[in-house]
Structure 1
Amino acid sequence: MTFVTDQVRRVDSQLDRLQLFGLPSAPVSPLLEARRDTLDHAPVTSTRASQLQIVAKALSASATSQPILKPVRICSLLEQAQSALAQPISVQAQEDTAYERDLEWLIVSKAATQTYGVLLNVLLDQIMPLSNDIWYWDDILGSRMYTGLYSIQTSPLRFWKWSKEVYHDARQKLESITGPSELGATASKSLTDRWTQFYGLVKESVRERSLLDIHRQVVSPFALVRAEVRRKQAALRKFREMSASGLGVLMDEGLAFGLDDESLFSNTEGSKFDKEDWKLVVAKSIALMETVLRNVTAIEVGLPDFEDTVFASIEEESDVMHQASDESSDGKPAALCKRLQDILESHIPGHNNASKALTVKFGRPSRLTRYWLPAIVLILSSSTLLRILASRQAEIATWIRELGTTIVDFWSNWVIEPTKKVLGTIRHDKDSEIAIMSKESLAGDRASLERMVVDFAVDHPAESGGAASLSEAEISSIRDKVKEGDLTPVLKAYERDLRKPFMGTVRGDLVRALLIQVQKTKVDVEVAMGGIDSLLKSQELVFGFVGLTPGILVCIASLRWVKDTFGSRSGSKEGKRHVKMVRVLRNIDRILSASSSPSSPGSPHQGMLSYKEHGLLLCEVHTMRQTAQRVLPGEIHREFLEDIEDLVDIRTGVERQLKVVERIRWAYAKWLR
């Protein structure tokens, strides 16, 4: 939604309000007739009135989801209205006849509102791209390298222009020499003689032109190019200012009924608008739109002259306004409908063609002009490039195949497999559990150690403090101690044999005790490893995500690189919306601070923006609203629109508008960073 949509809806609601409380002559308000879903209960007095009601409903800004209709649709509805107006009025009471005339004026006013919205959009869409062309010329003027590049790009055009001038000059000289009486003699000459004569005239024209341009030799080619660029930039700025002034004139003066939003919801007698004044406003606004379209592209006149011409033309439309005030005239609505059709079918397309011609003449060069040199280089080197590609065809195919294999393997090994492991960990899949050793390894080694110690204790009962043999209770006690890590029988025998190691080795008890201790060390190591294994299992999900993270990061980085390299420009600008809002806010502050509006006491426009400044402000606000729609959240965006409404209200004065800019700056600082 733009400020144009808001303006059209506001004007349409004012018209509806005027119909509800300003037309006591109608039996029932035409607005109520148009707003009902069916016409079964409407007091339709004739077929003519029924057709007019249908057209009025279709032209209403609230009739469809799209407030501003397309020009083709508006023209079609106007044709339907004209066909209905052409029908003779039925012989009814004077009250019904006045009701049908009110319907006619309602259709004209709503069609004027729709045309008003179309024209505002046309001017707005025309002004916005001009800033880009002006910035393009700023870049050309700001760098000698860009100036030289522009000079090379446009050199064929300058040479072609110079050649045409020389040719026409030589041809004019040839025609002046031969004359009409000598045409037959010239035709009788041979082709060689005629070409020799024309070639001599061309050489003479080139020599004369060189003598005329000799004063330019003291000026560098860069200065000549920069002078041309400045001339085009000045023309674009003038066109932009005049378009902005036209936009401001239409916003301030077009369809201005003098009603504010509060009066629209007031039922007091003071809020009622005079029955004939709104017809004068509609007729005047139609003339205003037509005059703006005719003069906004005439950049040869100055901005003050443009505004004077617009208002002088409106004053000259006194005949139309007098007809609008003369209720006895029956052809007024039909004539205004015809003028609206002319605006939509002739003036707006003509204005678009004229503005496009100005943009082509003074805007940035075409793509053919900017890229003809790289295109020629590419065409000339195409055979060499094709030859290189053909000679390395096998290597290039191998590179492409290996690149594809690498991408597939990376995706499978570093993205798919870690993802499966993470999912398996979440589901407690046994195949995905992290384990340093098998589950049965520690239990088997413990049972083996237990058997070794029990057998050693049975073979050496004296070391266990028993008699000739150990009872079952003693053996059970030894098993329990071994489970706790107590190897007392083995250690006692080991200590005894260390006193006489040779004898212990011969008997084998020393070696046996030593091997049992080796088994004990193995069991202790496995117990420690089991603790580490348990710790890893408790953090198994963390390790799974750690293994998945590198693949995900590489994929994200690759996708962003591809998007930034090969993606659209609009996609690359999405990350710069905050910077764009700051720049637009800076432009708004600059427009308000540099306002040249009169501020003397007693001035009728004290502290208010001029038409040009108002139009430029509306363009910047339009850009800011479009950007903020994607940056600000819903509730904050609604509050932002309220502040924007305060900002574009020029009736409050420049000082209060600057305060609104400051409020926007601190209130939405979080989204402007």
Structure 2
Amino acid sequence: MSLVADQVRRLDAQLDRIPFGHLTSYDATQSPIDLDSPRVKDLSKVIKSLSTTGSQKALTAWQLHSLLTQSSLFPEPGGEISATQYETELEWLLVSKATVQTYGIILDTLLDQIIPLSDHIWYWDDVLSSPTYSSIYMVQTSPVRLWARSREIYTDSKAKLQQYTSGASATDSEVGANTTSIQAGISQRWSQFYHIVRESIHEKSLANVQKKILSPVALCRAEARRKQSKLKKLREMTSSGLGVLIDEGLAFGGNGSDDGKSDLILSNNQEWKGVVERSVALMDMVLKDVLTLNVGVADFEDRVFAGVEEDPELSIQAEEDEIPRPAVVARRLLDLLEMHLPGHVEAAEKMVAENGRPSRLVRYWLPATILVFSSTTILRILVNKKQEILHWIRDLGVTVRDFWFNWVIDPVRKVVSTIRHDANSEIAIMSRDSLQADRDSLERMVVDFALDNPSSATGASSISESQVADIRAKVREGDVTPILRAYEKDLRSPLKGTVRGDLVRTLLIQVQKTKVDIEVAMTGIDTLLKSQELVFGLVGLTPGILVSFGVVQYLRGVLGGRKGFRENRRAGKCVRVLRNIDRILSEATPSPNNLLSYKDHGLLICEVHVLRRLAHSILPADIEKDFLEDLDDLANLKGIQSQLRALDRIRWAYSKWLR
């Protein structure tokens, strides 16, 4: 919701409080009030369409023009409309609501014209800030200047040639029609035309002595400075007109409360009708004079107010007019919508086109020309490298796909399996059943050796079942004492033990024991790895996630899809707008009653309008309500000091979102 929409809605709500109770107190000579008459119904229907209290969108100029045209305000040619007092009051309410809508349309138009002027002024600032930018601007606009100079020379030469032709026609009529005379006449005319062209070029060169003294870059800088000055003057004039309309237009008084003593709507007199008439005249005068750049801002304001006071169509100036006053106001509103407003918009666009930054065609004709001339070379390169480009694209697609599946999908799947404690997903250095098989084999080896050599195992000639069970239990704990005893015995006579004893057998059993010990150690490491399996899975997933996140962020940044980046840019713009508001309030020249001038108030309204739009997408809904209230305090004329305090309050209260 814009500032203008709020202003229109507030004024429309004030008009809805117009009392009609006094109409029932007329004496019997007055016509009775018929609420069911066709004219009353038509007027009520149009009034309802012109109201904004139930709609969120303001009416367009075309819709407003259509509603005024279809209303029964204008008498037929040669006839008059006889209306009761109630119908007359309804007519006044209709034209008042139409005036409010027209007022909103004109304010929107002026705001839309002022805001883009800053971009054009900044462009000229860039051109004037650096000789490099000035040179670039000279190259960009060189075809336009060459074309304009050629047209001047052509127009001047054509005019002189026409004068020469008309003066020489009488002489040519006396010449004979022979071939020699004709050829001599043609040669003479070509020579004269060449002489005229040279003379025109020489005259243009003498007329533009300054262009011969200054360099092309200096001329371009002077042109940029001149256009920037006109744009600044246009912004000042438009801001002044906007401030005049906001401060003086439709000033009914009161604040919407029922006890407003200065509220013209609730007062017994009918002064609010005069306010409507004067507001229409004010809008008319502003549109007529706002583009007059050869006068100062103060002179413009004086001319506007003087024009309103001397307006011949106001009631106090045209008391003997036979046409009903609502019809006069409605006709003037139609003129504003049909002629004055479109004419103003067209003139403003023409002025901005002449003094604003050049068009895209002028700014980019050089790179576009280079691109066009090099397009054949680029196309030839693309055709010759077609297979290589396609192969590169395919390789890129395969690389991206393999990276995605091998470094993102598979690690994610492994992490999920680890979280779900999938036994098949457990990492292991060795097979799970390898240690158990080697233990069983060692147990069998030791038991068989004990059964074959009971004397080495127990020192007796036989071995019982309980002793065998005890040996099995000790082997499970890593105790192979029977093997070590036999090994120690045979080691006393190694050769004899090797040939006739069990030295080789015990040695091989110890090798198996060593293998089992190594596997036990590996099992411990395996258990440690299994306890940290989730950590390893996340570590393996991290590179893929980081690379994918970086690529996605880069693509979002390139495509401008980062919401946070856009919000930061909006917040930065809000800070710049707050800086402009502070500058306006600090440098403003206050009036005797400590209020802003019309020009400064218009500039302030523009900045507040921009700030409302930017903050709408940054602030939360509940915070935005308080923000709009503070913006209203900033925009209203309550004194410069009060506005500065409102600006400070906005800075510290909403710094969380606007920094």
Please state which band the TM-score falls in when normalised by the shorter chain.
0.7 to 0.9
Matched, 1:24 2:9: no
Q: Distance in 2 between matches of 1:269 and 1:609?
A: 23
Partner residue in 2 for 1:439: 432
1:551 and 2:544 correspond: yes
Q: Which residue of structure 1 lines up, in the alignment, with residue 507 of structure 2?
A: 511
- Give yes or no for the alignment of 1:534 onto 2:530: yes
Q: Which residue of 2 aligns with 1:277?
A: 271
Instruction: Give per-residue Cα distances to partners, 1:495-530, cap 9 Å, x unaligned.
Output: 555555555555224313422322321331232133
- Structure 2 matches for 1:581-600, cutoff 5 A? 581-598=574-591
- The residue that corresponds to 1:659 in the other structure is 645
Inter-partner Cα distance in structure 2 for 1:347 and 1:47? 33
Say whether 1:196 aligns with 2:187: no
Report what 2:132 is aligned to: 145
* CA deviation profile, 1:152-206 (whole Å, cap 9, x unmatched): 1111111122222222333333344454573783998644432221111111222
1:642 aligned onto 2:629: yes
In 2, distance between residues paired with 1:471 and 1:585?
101
Q: 1:461 to 1:352 in 2, by over 3 A?
A: farther
Write the distance in 2 (CA, Å) between the matches of 1:144 and 1:81.
Answer: 61
Gaps of 5+ in 2: 26-32, 176-181
Q: In 2, Cα distance between the equivalents of 1:184 and 1:372?
A: 50
Q: Which amino acid aligns with 2:15?
A: L
Q: Is the 8 A contact 2:73 2:330 kept in 1?
A: no
Distance 2:460 2:174 in 1: 152
- Tell me which amino acid in the other structure corresponds to 2:281: A
Distance 1:402 1:459, change over 3 A: same
The counterpart of 2:229, out of the listed 234, 238, 245, is 234
For residues 238-296 of structure 1, the C-alpha deviation after alignment (integer angstroms, 9 at most, x for no partner) is 111111111111111111111114x2477999993344111111111111112211222
Secondary structure at the aligned position of 1:439 is classed as: coil
Structure 1 contact 293–347 (Cα < 8 Å) conserved? yes
1:53 aligns with 2:44: yes
Which residue of the other structure, out of 234, 245, 248, is the alignment partner of 1:253? 248
AA at the equivalent of 1:243: T
Distance (whole Å) between structure 2 residues aligned to residue 614 and residue 445 of structure 1: 95
2:23–2:86 CA contact under 8 A, matched in 1? yes
CA distance in 1, matches of 2:646, 2:449: 97
2:613 to 626, 633, 646: 626
Q: How far did 1:325 drift? A: 8.9
Q: Could you tell which deviates more after superposition, 586-595 or 263-272?
A: 263-272
The structure 2 residue matched to 1:112, chosen from 93, 96, 99, is: 99
Mark the structure with the bigger radius of gyration. 2
2: distance between equivalents of 1:197 and 1:206? 14
Give yes or no for contact 2:253–2:262 (8 Å, CA) kept in 1.
no
Higher helix share: 1
| Structure-1 separation of matches of 2:123 and 2:292 | 23
Q: Distance in 2 between matches of 1:431 and 1:195?
A: 101
Aligned-residue sequence identity (percent) comes to 48
Q: Secondary structure at the match of 1:301?
A: coil
Number of equivalenced pairs: 639
Confirm whether residue 317 of structure 1 aligns to residue 311 of structure 2. Answer: yes
Residues 509, 325 of structure 1: alpha-carbon distance in 2 compared, 3 angstrom cutoff: farther
Q: Which whole-Å CA distance do the structure 2 matches of 1:285 and 1:333 have between them?
A: 14
Native 8 Å contact 1:491 1:513 kept in 2: no
Alpha-carbon distance in 1 for matches of 2:531, 2:200? 97
Corresponding position: 1:79 with 2:69: yes
Which amino acid in structure 1 is aligned with residue 271 of structure 2?
A: D
SS at match of 1:607: coil
Answer whether contact 1:27 1:99 (CA < 8 A) is retained: no
Partner amino acid, structure 1, of 2:362: T
| C-alpha distance in structure 2 between counterparts of 1:25 and 1:85, whole Å | 27
Q: CA deviation at 1:331?
A: 1.4
The one of 199, 202, 205 equivalent to 2:200 is: 205
Structure 2 partner of 1:297:
291
Rate the CA distance shift 1:319–1:445 in 2: closer, same or farther, 3 A: same
Unaligned runs of 5+ in 1: 29-41, 92-96
- The residue aligned with 2:658 is 672
Match of 1:398 among 376, 391, 406: 391
* 1:456 shift after superposition: 3.9
Q: Which residue of 2 aligns with 1:5?
A: 5
Once residues 477 and 75 of structure 2 are traced to their aligned partners in structure 1, the CA distance between those partners, rounded to angstroms, is: 111
- In the alignment, the residues of structure 1 paired with residue 159 and residue 260 of structure 2 have an alpha-carbon distance, to the nearest angstrom, of 75
Deviation at 1:385, TM superposition (A): 2.3
Q: Give TM-score scaled by structure 1 length.
A: 0.86
Measure the CA separation in 2 of the matches of 1:148 and 1:267.
64
Shift of 1:430: 5.1
Separation in 2 of the partners of 1:269 and 1:211? 66
Q: What RMSD over aligned residues (CA atoms) do the two structures have, in Å?
A: 3.3
Report which stretch shifted further, 128-137 or 285-294. 285-294
Distance 1:523 1:559, change over 3 A: closer
Q: Please give the alpha-carbon distance, in whole angstroms, between the structure 1 residues aligned to 2:258 and 2:149.
A: 64
SS at match of 1:320: coil
Of the structure 1 ranges 107-116 and 345-354, higher mean CA displacement relative to structure 2 is found in: 345-354
For the Cα contact (< 8 Å) 1:453–1:516, is it kept in 2? no
Question: What's the TM-score, normalizing by structure 2?
Answer: 0.88
Distance 1:337 1:437, change over 3 A: farther
Instruction: Tell me if the contact between 1:246 and 1:611 (Cα under 8 Å) persists in the aligned partners.
Output: yes
Q: Distance in 2 between matches of 1:126 and 1:181?
A: 54
Bigger mean CA deviation after superposition, 205-214 or 48-57: 205-214
Corresponding residue for residue 62 of structure 1: 53
Q: Is the 8 A contact 2:153 2:201 kept in 1?
A: yes
Q: Distance in 2 between matches of 1:286 and 1:461?
A: 129
Amino acid at match of 1:282: V
Distance 2:45 2:324 in 1: 20
Give the match for residue 29 of structure 2: none
Pair 285,546 (structure 1): closer, same or farther in 2 beyond 3 Å: farther
Measured at CA, do residues 212 and 4 of structure 1 come closer, stay the same or move farther in structure 2, by a change above 3 Å?
Answer: closer
1:38 is matched with none
Bigger mean CA deviation after superposition, 440-449 or 298-307: 440-449
- Cα deviation for residue 131 of structure 1 reads 0.5
1:76 to partner: Cα distance: 1.6
* 1:34 aligned partner: none
Structure 1 residues 459 and 383: alpha-carbon distance in aligned structure 2, compared to 1, 3 A threshold: same
Query: Structure 2: how far apart are the matches of 1:187 and 1:472?
Result: 158
Aligned letter for 1:23? F
Cα offsets for 1:515-559 (capped at 9, x unmatched): 23223213312321331243134x2xx544444443343334334
* Cα drift, residue 215 of structure 1: 5.0
| Match of residue 28 from structure 2 | none
Aligned counterparts of 2:279 and 2:609: Cα–Cα separation in 1: 23
The CA distance in 1 between the partners of 2:573 and 2:489, in whole Å, is 90
User: Secondary structure of 1:210's match?
Assistant: helix
Q: 1:283 to 1:509 in 2, by over 3 A?
A: same
The whole-number CA distance in structure 1 between the counterparts of 2:312 and 2:86 is 26
1:520 aligns with 2:544: no
Q: Cα gap change, 1:514/1:545 in structure 2, threshold over 3 Å: closer, same or farther? A: closer
**Alpha-carbon distance change, 439 to 177 in structure 1, aligned in 2, over 3 angstroms:** same
Q: Is the 8 A contact 1:174 1:198 kept in 2?
A: yes
Task: For 1:187 and 1:585, locate their aligned partners in 2 and report how far apart those are by CA, in whole Å.
Answer: 81
Distance 1:413 1:366 in 2: 51
Tell me, yes or no, if the aligned pair for 1:647 and 1:660 is still in contact at 8 Å. yes
User: Cα distance, 1:423 vs. partner?
Assistant: 4.4
Compared CA separation, residues 486 and 116, structure 1 to 2 (3 A): farther
Task: Determine the C-alpha separation between the residues in 2 that align with 1:584 and 1:501.
Answer: 101
Most deviating of 427-436 and 515-524: 427-436
